[in-house]
Amino acid sequence: MRRSNTLLGLLLVLSLICETTWAVSGSSSCKQRKMTALRPHSVSITEFGAIGDGVTLNTIAFQNAIFYLRSFADKGGAQLFVPAGKWLTGSFSLISHLTLSLDKDAVILGSTDSIDWPLIDPLPSYGRGRELPGERHQSLIHGSNLKDVVITGDNGTIDGQGSVWWDWFHNKNLNYTRPHLVEFINSTGVVISNLTFSNSPFWAIHPVYCSQVHVQRVTILAPLDSPNTDGIDPDSSTDVCIEDCYISTGDDIIAIKSGWDEHGISYARPSSNINIYRILGRTGDGAGIAIGSEMSGGVSEVRAEDIHLFDSKHGIRIKTSAGRGGYVKNILVSDVIMENVDMAIMITGQYGEHPDEQYNPNALPLIERITIKDVVGTNIRLAGLLNGIEGDDPFEVCLSNIMFNVSSELPWNCSSITGYSDMVSPNVCEPLRRVPEDSSVCYSTDSQGSSSLLVL
């Protein structure tokens, strides 16, 4: 604390050229992409024989409607409208230049028969399904190699009816990895807005190998005890913006990923420029803002701001392990309120979970310039469990202006960790009281959308 004051006011700005038009604006909002005007052509799912009674399976109607709309792709695209009703369906795939638009009282229901969720190849950066080896079930709403796709609605609902999948998981009756509710692979220009997503079998929204992804004003709901029901998981994706969401699920609210051990290392597709603003939520078993545990392709340039978490197990969490390789660097989480959170800040290098025996235990992750600042927490049990990997370079963390009301008598537990702190209560663990030899440990961003290094 005393030594930190001697450094106060020193500001080193290292501008990074921001080449993307997707950069954040100064007001901490996603820069709006030039939205495609209303699609010149629109059809209703009822024109393709769909019946919104909650019982009739409408997979063929969705597939036929989307097949028909292919011919409008080069004419400004088309809209598929889903009116009020309960539309039961299996998995279907979107096309480029399509808007899937739900009415306020429209509910798309995922089939409860696993046969309606076909199998697809595992992701190359995972080498296998995340839960089980081999193929995996395709998401309810799927998109591969697309451009300019919108899923929106007047707060209509996409309900995965995931409880059958959670039961299969608990009873060990799964044959393949569970499906997501929405997955986009290798797609660019994806907008997901103004909808409620509920009861996903697995992670709800999963953009992987994507760029220019905008998730805005969505509600994501799943029971607090439902297994692995992450909210939004940007994975090996760049230029992602998530804002104004309410997410209450069983696992991580938002988890940033980039592939798994040797598969993620060789695929080498990082996640970067991920911006997250104004998220309210809670999670039964996960964290509010998580990075990892799959981060082998690297994660950098993450900014999460205005995060309000309550009744949750973890607040901010970085999960990694020997064998992951990769890096997590240039991360800023700021303006956080936590209420009734068991463990506020968790950084673990012992997460474990490997895809197979082929991983290289000497592939150690680089964790540096992780800044967490302006955090208030009430009814917190542990302030921080910060454990790097013995024998690896210590993880570099910077904590600033953090005030937790904690119940544990040992609020901080640190090992293989280094960094800096300023105005942290309760008094932080010894390794973080030191002034770092290299001042670049603290990461910040300026208001122009470029990045800078801030030495407090």
Ligand X SMILES: *[C@@H]1O[C@H](CO)[C@@H](O)[C@H](O)[C@H]1NC(C)=O
* Residue 100: CB minimum distance to ligand X, A: 11
Helix residue ranges per DSSP H, 34-106: 59-69
> Minimum CB separation from ligand X for residue 343, in Å?
10
Residue of 239, 251, 252, 261 with catalytic role: 251
Q: Is 237 in the site for ligand X (CB under 6 A)?
A: no
Angle (nearest 5°) at CA 377 between 395 and 447: 65
Nearer to ligand X, 102 or 332 (CB): 102
Asked if 56 is part of the footprint of ligand X (rule: CB under 6 A), the reply reads: no
Which is nearer to ligand X, 128 or 217 (by Cβ)? 217
Sign, CA torsion 257/147/161/154? positive
Which residue bears the tokens 């570099």?
396
**Number of C-beta neighbours around residue 37 at 10 A:** 8
Which stretch in 5-13, 67-75, 84-92, 144-152 sits in contact with ligand X by CB under 6 A?
A: 144-152
DSSP symbol at 285: S
Strands 182-185 vs 205-208: parallel, antiparallel or unpaired: parallel
405 near ligand X, rule: CB under 6 A: yes
One residue of 410, 434, 447, 448 binding ligand X per CB under 6 A: 410
Any contact of residue 36 with ligand X (CB under 6 A)?
Answer: no
Among 23, 168, 266, 393, binds ligand X (CB under 6 A): 168
SS3 71: helix
CB 204 within 8 A of CB 182: yes
Quote the least distance from Cβ 170 to ligand X, whole Å. 12
- Report the DSSP pairing between strands 451-454 and 11-12: antiparallel
Instruction: Give the separation between CA 92 and CA 183, rounded to whole angstroms.
Output: 11
- Give CA 368 to chain center in angstroms: 20
* 251 a catalytic residue: yes
- 34 contact partners, CB below 8 Å, separation of at least 6: none
Q: What is the identity of the amino acid at 43?
A: V
Q: For residues 333 and 414, which CB has a smaller minimum distance to ligand X in the complex? A: 414
How many Å apart are CA 206 and CA 210, to the nearest integer?
A: 10
- How far apart are the C-alpha atoms of 428 and 230, rounded to whole Å? 30
Residue type at 410?
L
- Radius of gyration, CA atoms only, the chain: 22
Contact flag: residue 157 with ligand X (CB under 6 A): yes
Among 58, 91, 111, 114, binds ligand X (CB under 6 A): 114
Shortest Cβ distance from residue 193 to ligand X (Å)? 5
Interacting residues with ligand X between 363 and 402 (CB under 6 A): 378, 385, 387
Single out the residue of 36, 56, 63, 196 in contact with ligand X (rule: CB under 6 A).
196
**Contact status: 425 vs ligand X (CB under 6 A):** no
For residue 94, the tally of other CB atoms under 10 A from its CB is: 24
Nearer to ligand X, 59 or 450 (CB): 59
Contacting range for ligand X; rule: CB under 6 A; set: 173-181, 232-240, 315-323, 338-346: 173-181
Binding letters toward ligand X, positions 174-193, x by CB under 6 A: xx----------x------x
The binder of ligand X chosen from 56, 155, 161, 401 (CB under 6 A): 155
Angstrom distance (rounded) from CA 38 to CA 418: 52
What is the dihedral sign for C-alpha 252, 206, 307, 104?
negative
CB of 171 to ligand X, least distance (A): 9
Near ligand X by CB under 6 A, which window of 145-153, 236-244, 261-269, 273-281?
Answer: 145-153
The correct pick among 32, 145, 362, 448 for binding ligand X (CB under 6 A) is 145
- One of 46, 413, 439, 452 touching ligand X (CB under 6 A): 413
- Choice between 155 and 440, CB closer to ligand X: 155
Question: Are 326 and 300 in contact, with CB atoms under 8 Å apart?
Answer: no
Q: Kindly list the residues in this chain that would bind ligand X in the complex (CB under 6 A).
A: 114, 145, 147, 152, 155, 157, 168, 173-175, 186, 193-194, 196, 217, 219, 378, 385, 387, 405, 410, 413
Active site residues: 251
